[in-house]
Structure 1
Amino acid sequence: MPRYEYRCKACGDTFELNRPMAESGAPAVCPDGHTDTVKLLSTVAVTGTAGSAAPASRAGGGAGGAGGCCGGGCCG
């Protein structure tokens, strides 16, 4: 079941609720009982996929050497 994050306008508290996607837009009540809440935009970070090959710099075939990579490009 998806988890949604909300912020209460009355007290400023941020809280999460597990609810079905069909109820994602339904009003949410904060833990202190206030009903003036807004749903926050969630971000998801996904890295790699199962069974994918390691980047060349980690596999020893790139120019990264012992320094590794920074910011998505290999530092030399």
Structure 2
Amino acid sequence: MPRYDFRCRQCSTTFEVDRPMAAAGDPARCPYGHADTVKLLSTVALGGRAASGRAPMTAAPAAPAGGGGCCGGGCCG
């Protein structure tokens, strides 16, 4: 079940609520009983190392420099 982060606007307490995705937008009461809460934007951090036998991920090559203008490279004659 997904976990959602909330913050109480009255006491500034940050807390988590487990609930189904269908109820993600429902209001949540703070643990101290306050009703004025806001749902926080959750972020996901991914990291680690490439598994053995796999090539590491690299950044995409840079786009070639263009000549500017409306089409960015002189392709519009």
TM superposition score normalised by structure 2: 0.63
Partners of 1:6 and 1:14 lie apart in 2 by 6
**Could you say which structure has the larger radius of gyration?**
2
In structure 1, stretches of 5+ residues that fail to align are: 56-71
Instruction: Find out whether 1:24 has 2:24 as its counterpart.
Output: yes
Offset, 1:45: 1.3
Counterpart residue number, 1:9: 9
Structure 1 vs Structure 2 CA RMSD? 2.7
In structure 2, stretches of 5+ residues that fail to align are: 60-77
Count of aligned pairs: 57
Higher helix share: 1
Partners of 1:32 and 1:54 lie apart in 2 by 50
TM superposition score normalised by structure 1: 0.63
Counterpart residue number, 2:42: 42
Offset, 1:43: 0.3
Partners of 1:24 and 1:9 lie apart in 2 by 19
Aligned-residue sequence identity (percent) comes to 64
Offset, 1:51: 5.4
